[in-house]
Amino acid sequence: MRIGDFHASYRHDEALFDTRAQRVWLGLLLAALAAFPFVGGSYLTYLACLLGIHLIAAAGLNVMTGYTGLISLGHAAFMGVGCYAVAVAERAGIPFFLALPLAGAASAAIGLVVGIPSLRIKGLYFAVATLAAQFVLGFVFREWESVTGGVRGANVPAASLFGFELAGDRRVYFLIAPLAVLMLLGARNLFRTRVGRAFIAIRDRDISAEVLGISLFRYKLAAFAIGSFYAGVAGGLWGYFFRVATPELFGLPLSVFYLAAIIVGGLGSILGTILGATFMTLIPEFLRALVGWAEAFGLEQAGVYLAPLRQVVFGLLIVGFLVFEPHGLAEMWRRTRRFFHLWPFRT
Contact residues for another protein (CB under 8 A)? 10-11, 13-14, 186-187, 189-190, 192-198, 200-201, 203-205, 207-216, 222, 225-226, 268
Give min distance, CB of 18 to another protein, in A: 13
Q: Which is nearer to another protein, 3 or 211 (CB)?
A: 211
- The smaller minimum CB distance to another protein, of residues 48 and 180, is found at 180
Nearer CB in complex with another protein: 42/208: 208
In whole angstroms, the minimum distance from the beta carbon of 222 to another protein comes to 5
In this complex, which beta carbon is closest to another protein, that of residue 14 or of residue 145?
Answer: 14
Map 42-84 to HEC letters. Answer: HHHHHHHHHHHHHHHHHHHHHHHHHHCCCCCCCHHHHHHHHHH
Q: Provide the minimum distance between the beta carbon of 245 and another protein in the complex, in angstroms, as a whole number.
A: 26
Q: How far is the CB of 120 from another protein (least distance, A)?
A: 14
Q: What is the 3-state secondary structure (H, E, C) of 122-188?
A: CHHHHHHHHHHHHHHHHHHHHHCHHHHCHHHCEECCCEEECCEEECCHHHHHHHHHHHHHHHHHHHH
Compute the distance between CA of residue 338 and CA of residue 263 in angstroms, rounded to an integer.
Answer: 22
Least distance in angstroms from the C-beta of 104 to another protein: 12
The distance of closest approach from Cβ of residue 262 to another protein in the complex, given in angstroms and rounded to an integer, is 15
Q: Which residues pair with 245 in a beta bridge?
A: 154
In angstroms, the CA 347 to CA 343 distance is: 6
Residue 155 and residue 84: Cα distance in Å, rounded? Answer: 9
How many angstroms separate the CA atoms of 90 and 99, rounded? 7
CA distance 183 to 54: 12
Residue whose CB is less far from another protein, 19 or 215? 215
- Pick from 82, 77, 116, 113: nearest CA to 100: 82
Q: For residues 234 and 184, is the Cβ–Cβ distance under 8 A?
A: no
Task: Name which of 13 and 248 has its Cβ closer to another protein.
Answer: 13
CB of 146 to another protein, least distance (A): 33
Q: Does residue 322 contact residue 263 with C-beta atoms inside 8 Å?
A: yes
- CB contact at 8 A, 206 and 105: no
State which residue, 42 or 189, has the beta carbon closest to another protein: 189
Report d(CA 13, CA 44) in Å as an integer.
Answer: 38
Q: How many CB atoms lie within 10 A of CB 221?
A: 17
Nearer to another protein, 13 or 285 (CB): 13
Shortest gap between Cβ of 50 and another protein (angstroms)?
A: 24
